[in-house]
Amino acid sequence: MQYRSQTKAVSSSPPKRVNKGAEPLIVLMLLPADLRKKIAELAGELEDTQDRLNQSVEYNQQLEHT
């Protein structure tokens, strides 16, 4: 009992994370190689789609100004 009275209260909040950006990368590295490859392919397709969308938006903005 005396030991408990001498201990400090522990915060229930989780510790602050310094680099949250590294966590997804670590999780990806734990995946099997075939899944990592597929994720990379999908990321590339997503980037291509975003580029086409941006080009379309720019084109439409040019049409509005003419």
Within-domain flag for 17: no
C-alpha torsion sign, points 15, 18, 23, 26:
negative
Tokens for 32, please give them: 């099997």
- Whether the pTM exceeds 0.85: the reply is no
Name the residue range of residue 50's domain.
Answer: 33-66
Tens digits of per-residue pLDDT, 7-51?
A: 555 556 665 665 666 777 788 889 999 999 999 999 999 999 999
How does DSSP classify residue 7?
A: S
Within-domain flag for 5: no
Q: Distance between CA atoms of 56 and 60, rounded to whole angstroms?
A: 6
Within-domain flag for 26: no
Say what the pLDDT of residue 29 is.
86
Within-domain flag for 2: no
Say what the pLDDT of residue 36 is.
93
